[in-house]
């Protein structure tokens, strides 16, 4: 069944039937417009004329074949009798015409009811289809919203995991010079160049520091000749990985008193 439209053929049909039903004129009986009356009238007039002729002929025979006022009066009486019978048939003819008026109205009302029911059925189907489409759209929107929320949550969780991996990997490289795999770099979002830079910095801080430490040599004991040796200042090179300064004697090369 085609979808209902405000300007559809069925809508126009319903409107036309409604206007015809509501625009019916009140019942008014006009004998001249009644085909049954005309048929009755023709038959009664014809029979009345025949009866009048027969009556006038019979009356003329009684008077020797000559016409008389009596014969005319008898013939007119016969004709009037048929007209009276036609008049007596008027209520029946009126009732027949009125019943026909009612039957036509009922038939028109039946057509209108059927067309209106069809129209209401199409409207109901259209409303149901629109409601189903509206619900489908709402469900689609809800599903899309849920999908976006899940994607956002997954993205947040992935970002947090990447940040944690990044921080942990940076700490590990900076503290130990660890060389990460490509998978570890991808999980942390760290480039190979950045990781290499961290390793270089780690190696630089671990390079040995060479420092020169001055110390004073102990005074030599007196010789048998009674002369004292001169004290000499010596230097020693100390290697430290931590960068601290160590010495094996006094700093600075000052004479000990």
- The model's pLDDT over 175-186, given as tens digits with 9 standing for 90+, comes to 998 999 999 999
Give the chain as a DSSP string: -PPP-TTSHHHHHHHHHHHHHHTPPPP---GGG-HHHHHHHHHHHHHHHHHHHHHHHHHHHHTTS---HHHHHHHHHHHHHHHHHHHHTHHHHHHHHHHHHHHHHHHHHHHHHHHHHHHHHHHHHHHHHHHHHHHHHHHHHHHHHHHHHHHHHHHHHHHHHHHHHHHHHHHHHHHH-----HHHHHHHT--HHHHHHHHHHHHHHTS-EEEEEEEEPPPPPPPTTSPPPPP-EEEEEEEESS-----SS-STTPPP-
Name, in order, each residue with C-beta under 8 angstroms of 194's C-beta and a sequence gap of 6 or more: none
82 and 48 in contact (C-beta within 8 Å)?
yes
- The model's pLDDT over 28-62, given as tens digits with 9 standing for 90+, comes to 988 888 888 888 888 878 777 777 777 766 666 66
pTM equals: 0.46
Side-chain half-sphere CA neighbours of 48 within 13 A: 17
- The model's pLDDT over 190-212, given as tens digits with 9 standing for 90+, comes to 999 999 999 999 998 886 655 54
In terms of pLDDT, which residue wins out, 120 or 49?
Answer: 120
């Amino acid at each position: 069944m085609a979808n209902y439209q405000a300007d559809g053929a069925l809508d126009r049909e319903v409107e036309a039937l409604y206007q015809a039903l509501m625009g019916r004129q009140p019942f008014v009986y006009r004998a001249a417009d009644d085909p049954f009356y005309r048929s009755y009238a023709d038959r009664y007039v014809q029979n009345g004329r025949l009866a009048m002729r027969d009556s006038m002929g019979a009356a003329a025979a009684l008077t020797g074949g000559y016409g008389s006022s009596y014969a005319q009066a008898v013939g007119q009486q016969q004709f009037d009798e048929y007209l009276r019978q036609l008049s007596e048939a008027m209520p029946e003819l009126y009732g027949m015409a009125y019943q026909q008026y009612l039957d036509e109205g009922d038939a028109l009302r039946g057509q209108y009811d059927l067309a209106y029911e069809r129209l209401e059925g199409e409207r109901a189907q259209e409303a149901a289809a629109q409601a189903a489409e509206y619900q489908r759209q709402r469900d689609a929107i809800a599903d899309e919203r849920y999908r976006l929320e899940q994607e956002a949550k997954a993205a947040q969780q992935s970002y947090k995991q990447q940040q944690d991996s990044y921080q942990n990997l940076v700490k590990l490289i900076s503290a130990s010079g660890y060389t990460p795999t490509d998978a570890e770099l991808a999980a942390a979002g760290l480039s190979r160049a950045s990781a290499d830079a961290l390793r270089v910095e780690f190696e630089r801080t671990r390079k040995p520091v060479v420092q020169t430490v001055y110390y004073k040599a102990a005074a030599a004991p007196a010789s048998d000749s009674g002369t004292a040796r001169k004290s000499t200042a010596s230097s020693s090179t100390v290697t430290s990985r931590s960068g601290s300064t160590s010495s094996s004697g006094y700093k600075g090369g000052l004479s000990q008193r």
